[in-house]
Structures are given as C-alpha cells and as structure tokens.
Amino acid sequence: MTTVDEPARTGRKRTSIAPAVGPRALVVGAGIAGLAAATSLHRAGWRVLVCERAPARRTGGYFVRLAAEGVEAATRLGVEESLRTRLPVDGLITGVDGRGRTTSRVEAALVEDGVSLALVRGDLEAALWEGLPREVEVRFGTRPRAVSPAHGAVTLEHDGVESTERWDLVVGADGVRSTVRDLVFGPEGEFRHDFDHVVVSAVLPRLPGELVEGDYVVMVEPGRSAHLMAMAGHDPVVFFTYRTDLPQAHGTAPTTRPVEALRAVYGGFDGLMPEVLDLVARAGATHADTVGQIHLESWSRGRVVLLGDSAWCPTLYSGHGSALALAGGESLGSHLRVTGDTAPDVPSALAAWEAERRPATDVARTAARRARHFFLPGNRVVTALRQAALRVASQPWAAGLLRTAGRRSTRTGRPERVPREDVHRTVTASSGPGRRIAP
C-alpha cells in the first residue's frame, strides 16, 4: 500500500500540557478515527497519548463525502464549523465513456441532501486536529512493536529506540492495514474480504481540459472507472478504481508503482484521460491499495479496542467509512467515562460500545458489497444499464421526483438508513449525460 501526503503546514510540533491524574489511554493512528477518539476520551477524563507513524500530520488525500452521521458527530465534537462542502451545488456531474463521449449529465444539486459534506480527507483531519485538546500529547514517527491485551503493555518505537509502558486502554485506529490488529488479533488475511479491486488517488496540480470549479466527471468502462472532482478552494482530486483481473492490469504493481499501473489500465482511454494521466504522473499518487473489507467477530480484546477502518473497514464504496470512523471515535468516550480518578470497567464498556456501533457498520459493509458492481460495472451489459439509469435520472421529471424524495427523507429526521438510497446517490454523484468534454 502507498500513502503519500503533503505534511501539514502546522502540526509537525505540538506542545501539550498532559494532566497529572486519571487513567491513561494510548491511541495508535492520528487519522479521523484516532483524532475523534482522542478528543472524546480526553473529555471523558482520560490522559491521552496519540502515536502516529507518519513524520507529520497528513493533508489533502482524496475526496470524501461525509455522511449525516459523521456531520452530527463532528458537531458534538465541536469541529463542524470549519467544515465547508467543496462541491458547489450549481456544479454538473458528467458521465463519460472510454472514448471520451458524454453518456449522462446530472445537476449536482440533484444529489445533494443538504446535510452531507463533500470534502477532502485532509479537511476532516485538519478540523479534528484544530479541535484536539492541548492536554492530548501527539508523537509523530512513532509506531507500536508489541501489544499485550491483558495488561495493556505496549512497546513503542521512535527513531529506532523502543520503550514499553502500561496503558489502561489501547485504541488501534491505525487503518485498514492495522498493526495493532496484526499484533493482538492475528494476521490480516484472517479478517480481510478482498474485492479484487485497486484504488489509486491523486491531487492534480491543475484542472484538465476546460473543466471549471464544481465539475464532477466520471469516466467509466467495464471494470475501470475514474472520478475527477474540481473542488472549490482546493486542487482537483481524482481517484481510480479498477478490477485486478483486467488483462491491462496484468504484470503491474499498483501499490508500489501506481502511476505505471494507471498508464497500463487507462492508457486506451480517450478524451480527458491522457491529460489526467500526465497530471497524475507529475503529482504522484496520494493513496494506492487494493480494496477489501475487514470483518472481525469482536473489536476488542482485554484493554485493546480497534476503531475505524482497522475494525470494520467498509471500503470507499459504502460512502460511509469516514462518518463511521468519526462517530465511532466520538462515541467511545461516552462509554468510558472516568469517575474520580478511576477507569471504568474497560472490557464491559468496550462491549457496550461495540453493541451500539455494530448495526451501522454492518449496514455500510452490505451496501458496499452491493454498490461495488454498480460503482465499477464488470461488463458492457451492466455498464449500459448504469448509463441508462443515469440518463433517466437526468430527465427533468425524474429529477423533480428525486428532489422531492430527498427533501421528504431529510424532513422526517429519521436516523440515517445508509444503504440503498446512498448507494444510488453515490453512483448518481459519479455520473451524468450530454456533450463531449473538451480535452
């Protein structure tokens, strides 16, 4: 897996004022889940240390739509003020085939629910970072080498130097390739359900063709898609997903040589794609990995709990990974309140937290398993059906119906039911009909 991000302008150093009393929690990973958990645990009375293997805080990354549950959690954490949606509602979502021909076009306003936010991952991490209480200590360039779930003993390594300490709680928020999970629960292969897809993302130095801010272009052929977003106040972002069994992918090494792999897989595309590939080659990939879900029977063992993608990764196809990571981290503290200086019964609290969080993650993973076929059609028949569905969605009468349906579901204020509607919303958000996009 490759993950390359620009270091943030702020955050290489952070001075903290750790409190002297209270139980101690170690959070591994300063991503969305880790930062949300660190804040909520601090508020619940814990002394928190976050260790992050990267040398500095990450920025940019890739496009993330933060679903309603995530926006609500951000509000409870007090960080929603700095989150602004980056896809203007007057934008257009355009579907294009491999020959560069426009196959569908939808107004962005049609797929907006007025609640979820179109962001880059770095927006969320920056907001959580700004909101992180000063008392939370953060150590960059630091990773765990050994973890004992029964005693909470963790060996951390920084600059080749190892030290071991005991913690009342250890939170593994270190992503889908989690080291904490490997050390405590077992090798990833036991829990990973591979989709046999690759995902590569990049931040482009400029917009290709004649695209303007607000344009969202989806280039689709059987087994291959690319989503390009011209975001407000941010360099354009693009992500590619394709099947690993494509003949064009044979012999490529997407996780270590993503740019070469993209040229092999998308080299036959016409229209905007040649220019997009050149821009990716200039900028480099920010993320390159295979796509797979994580399924564990239990997310905790003794004093160790997994959180976010490390515990339940639903994949990008669910459109809910970041919301679940944020809400899961935010709710951890409410189950682990400290009374006086005494830690709660950690295993029981973690079991109660898991019982609360399980249903939403199950729904998101099921939705992603269904959505992957529509998101990345496997053959020409599914591709044609997808285009037909989007052409219907772009008709004025269908648009009216969808708008009304969207308003009605927002008004009811029901707890979010992620899957079907969202699958279609996500897919619609990645397409649209009409003219050829100028290369």
Ligand X SMILES: Cc1cc2nc3c(=O)[nH]c(=O)nc-3n(C[C@H](O)[C@H](O)[C@H](O)COP(=O)(O)OP(=O)(O)OC[C@H]3O[C@@H](n4cnc5c(N)ncnc54)[C@H](O)[C@@H]3O)c2cc1C
Q: Which is closer to ligand X, CB of 96 or CB of 325?
A: 325
Q: Which is closer to ligand X, CB of 272 or CB of 316?
A: 316
Q: Which is closer to ligand X, CB of 236 or CB of 308?
A: 308
Minimum Å distance from CB 165 to ligand X?
Answer: 15
**Which spans of this chain sit near ligand X (rule: CB under 6 A)?**
28-34, 51-54, 62-65, 121, 143-144, 173-175, 179, 199, 201, 239, 287, 308-309, 316, 319-323, 325
Minimum Å distance from CB 396 to ligand X?
Answer: 28
Q: Which is closer to ligand X, CB of 44 or CB of 327?
A: 327
Minimum Å distance from CB 269 to ligand X?
Answer: 19
Q: Give me the residue label for tokens 């077992």.
A: 186
At position 131, the amino acid (one-letter code) is G
Minimum Å distance from CB 120 to ligand X?
Answer: 10
Tell which phi-psi region holds residue 60, choosing left (phi > 0), alpha (psi between -120 and 50) or beta: left
Q: Which is closer to ligand X, CB of 11 or CB of 144?
A: 144
User: From the CB of residue 90, how many other CB atoms can be counted at a distance below 10 Å?
Assistant: 10
Please say whether the dihedral angle defined by the alpha carbons of residues 346, 351, 352 and 356, taken in this order, is positive or negative: positive
C-beta of residue 106 within 8 angstroms of C-beta of residue 393: yes
Minimum Å distance from CB 303 to ligand X?
Answer: 18
Minimum Å distance from CB 306 to ligand X?
Answer: 9
CA 56 from chain center: how many Å? 19
Write b or e for each residue in 362-393: b if 16 or more Cβ atoms lie within 10 A of its Cβ, otherwise e: ebbbbbbbebbebbbbeeeeebeebbebbbeb
CA 276 from chain center: how many Å? 22
User: From the CB of residue 163, how many other CB atoms can be counted at a distance below 10 Å?
Assistant: 11
Q: Which is closer to ligand X, CB of 168 or CB of 174?
A: 174
